[in-house]
């Protein structure tokens, strides 16, 4: 495996990513030597902060790309989707593994984590998230392992896993529906702290729904960017289907979200344009209205970068939604607000950099993107079925 991108153009980027990972590792060492307070602004009133808002709630939501694409490709067998499931599983797995890495920094006593598996706490959403997330990470590893094992020549093991592959996929989808929604239940227990614009009895539904919505969104970004960097022909038929699916999901989610705000009688707060309302509308406009507008443009099916932008908007919207609910608008009685420390964010950024690096190396090593390479011919003579005409040029 090469240690840096073979193309010299991108080498500085790779060294930057390695630098960020190193900085996060150093910060982690400082945290374990001196305590959380040295590197984080989490405090007695805001004990969660950025790490839970971003690394737990958001990473797991975006990691939902694994189960949504597995469902679309393997269960519903949508045309062409089976070819992108591998990439989706890899991205999902990396999101979950980096979440686990940050969790070790975030937890106060990570060396006691095994107590979760020896406890019985069915009233705790955190307990359910912990068990299901661990189980689902195992599922993701199993789902992804045939690629690695085949590369290592372990064909017997591959055959054994493939014999129960569908059962693994189905179990993964069930586990995901549980812990994705339980992240919403987690915040539902805090009616006095979570702002009414986000606190709803439908929070579990919203969190599951937006995780499903994040699936095609992450996939759109991943596929366009990956095929661009790897100089492959993008699968336009898949991108178009993802865009269509995303359109439907955005419309449904938008209706549900605004309907809920109206039904719970907090619409006047949304229209007040106070601090919370501005973040609420930022989330709605960037995360839902902007991608919807992009996706409804007439020539979207020939514009891969516009599809990618729509996906990116939805991703940003999901990030904003989780941060809004758990960090930005969270208010604790008689305490000032919380702002994350730079080192706190650095841990997350380092984990993201590690994700990008792991991804960049693994896509070169494993047959994840097997699309044919871009050739001068493909630009001038596109096949009529896959709408490559504009994107390749």
Partner 1 sequence: MAPKAMIQDNTRCIGCRACMVACKSWNDLPGDVSTFFAGPGYQNPRDLDPHNYTVITYKGIEAGPNGRPDWVFGRLMCMHCVEPACVSACPTTALTKSPEGAVVFNSWRCIGCRYCMQACPFVVPKFDFDRVVPAIHKCTFCADRIQVGRDPACAQVCPTGAITFGDRDDMVQEARRRIAAAPGAYVPHIYGLNEVGGTSVLHLSSVPFEQLGYPANLPDKPPPDLTVKVLHFTPKIFTTVWVTMAVVAMIIRRRIRFWVHDEHDDHDDHDEAERAPR
> Which of 370, 376, 377, 384 touches partner 1 by CB under 8 A?
370
d(CA 228, CA 121) in angstroms, rounded, equals 47
Is there a contact between 96 and 60 (Cβ–Cβ < 8 Å)?
yes
d(CA 35, CA 77) in angstroms, rounded, equals 49
Beta carbons within 8 Å of 350's beta carbon, 6+ residues apart: 20, 21, 22, 23, 24, 25, 27
**Residue 147 in tokens:** 């690629």
64 versus 287: smaller Cβ distance to partner 1: 64
Q: Does 367 bind partner 1 (CB under 8 A)?
A: yes
Q: Does 9 bind partner 1 (CB under 8 A)?
A: no
Q: Does 82 bind partner 1 (CB under 8 A)?
A: yes
Q: Does 130 bind partner 1 (CB under 8 A)?
A: yes
Q: Does 210 bind partner 1 (CB under 8 A)?
A: no
Is there a contact between 315 and 286 (Cβ–Cβ < 8 Å)?
no
User: For 334, phi and psi rounded to 5 degrees?
Assistant: 60, 20
Q: Does 188 bind partner 1 (CB under 8 A)?
A: yes
140 versus 294: smaller Cβ distance to partner 1: 140
> Which of 47, 231, 305, 375 touches partner 1 by CB under 8 A?
47
Instruction: Show the binding pattern over residues 295-324: x = contacts partner 1 (CB under 8 A), - = does not.
Output: ------------------------------
**Local structure of 158: helix, strand or coil:** helix
Work out whether the CA dihedral 222, 226, 228, 229 comes out positive or negative. positive
For residue 11, the minimal CB distance to partner 1 (Å) is 28
> Which of 6, 153, 298, 372 touches partner 1 by CB under 8 A?
372
Q: Does 189 bind partner 1 (CB under 8 A)?
A: yes
Q: Does 384 bind partner 1 (CB under 8 A)?
A: no
Is there a contact between 58 and 318 (Cβ–Cβ < 8 Å)?
yes
> Which of 37, 164, 248, 296 touches partner 1 by CB under 8 A?
37
162 versus 380: smaller Cβ distance to partner 1: 162
Distances in Å between the alpha carbon of 228 and those of 160, 308, 363? Answer: 35, 11, 13
| Choices 158-166, 211-219, 256-264, 296-304 (CB under 8 A): range interacting with partner 1 | 158-166
Q: What is the H or E stretch that residue 218 is in?
A: helix 203-229
> Which of 17, 69, 71, 133 touches partner 1 by CB under 8 A?
71
> Which of 60, 90, 139, 173 touches partner 1 by CB under 8 A?
173
Instruction: Show the binding pattern over residues 226-245: x = contacts partner 1 (CB under 8 A), - = does not.
Output: -------x-x-x--------
d(CA 50, CA 340) in angstroms, rounded, equals 6
| Choices 108-116, 220-228, 260-268, 337-345 (CB under 8 A): range interacting with partner 1 | 108-116
Q: Does 29 bind partner 1 (CB under 8 A)?
A: no
User: For 251, phi and psi rounded to 5 degrees?
Assistant: -60, -45
For residue 370, the minimal CB distance to partner 1 (Å) is 4
Answer left, alpha or beta for residue 294, where phi above 0 means left and psi between -120 and 50 means alpha: alpha
| Choices 254-262, 299-307, 331-339, 352-360 (CB under 8 A): range interacting with partner 1 | 331-339
d(CA 113, CA 124) in angstroms, rounded, equals 15
Query: How many chain residues interact with partner 1 (CB under 8 A)?
Result: 87
> Which of 53, 63, 64, 146 touches partner 1 by CB under 8 A?
146
Distances in Å between the alpha carbon of 176 and those of 105, 170, 172, 212? Answer: 24, 10, 6, 10
């Amino acid at each position: 495996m090469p240690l840096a991108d073979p193309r010299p153009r991108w080498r500085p980027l790779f060294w930057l990513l390695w630098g960020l990972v190193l900085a996060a590792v150093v910060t982690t060492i400082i945290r374990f030597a001196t305590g959380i307070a040295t590197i984080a602004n989490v405090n007695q009133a805001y004990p969660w902060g950025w790490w839970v808002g971003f690394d737990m709630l958001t990473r797991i939501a975006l990691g939902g790309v694994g189960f949504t694409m597995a469902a679309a490709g393997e269960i519903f067998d949508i045309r062409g989707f089976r070819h992108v499931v591998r990439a989706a599983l890899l991205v999902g797995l990396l999101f979950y593994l980096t979440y686990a890495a940050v969790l070790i920094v975030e937890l106060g006593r990570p060396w006691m984590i095994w107590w979760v598996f020896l406890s019985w706490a069915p009233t705790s959403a955190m307990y359910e998230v912990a068990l299901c997330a661990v189980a689902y990470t195992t599922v993701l590893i199993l789902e992804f392992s045939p690629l690695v094992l085949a590369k290592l020549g372990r064909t017997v093991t591959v055959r054994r896993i493939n014999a129960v592959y569908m059962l693994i996929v189905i179990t993964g989808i069930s586990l995901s529906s549980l812990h994705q929604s339980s992240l919403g239940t987690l915040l539902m227990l805090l009616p006095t702290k979570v702002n009414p614009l986000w606190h709803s009895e439908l929070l579990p539904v919203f969190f599951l729904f937006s995780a499903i919505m994040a699936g095609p969104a992450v996939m759109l970004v991943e596929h366009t960017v990956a095929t661009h960097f790897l100089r492959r022909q993008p699968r336009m038929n898949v991108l178009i289907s993802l865009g269509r699916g995303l359109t439907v999901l955005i419309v449904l989610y938008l209706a549900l979200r605004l309907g809920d705000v109206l039904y719970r009688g907090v619409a006047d707060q949304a229209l007040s344009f106070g601090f919370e309302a501005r973040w609420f509308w930022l989330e709605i406009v960037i995360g839902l209205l902007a991608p919807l507008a992009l996706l409804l443009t007439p020539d979207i099916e020939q514009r891969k970068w516009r599809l990618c932008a729509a996906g990116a908007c939805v991703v940003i919207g999901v990030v904003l939604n989780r941060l809004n609910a758990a960090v930005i608008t969270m208010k604790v009685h008689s305490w000032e607000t919380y702002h994350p420390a730079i080192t706190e964010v650095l841990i997350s950024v380092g984990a993201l950099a590690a994700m990008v690096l792991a991804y960049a190396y693994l896509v070169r090593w494993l047959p994840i993107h097997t699309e044919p390479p871009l050739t001068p011919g493909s630009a001038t003579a596109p096949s009529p079925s896959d709408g490559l005409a504009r994107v390749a040029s």
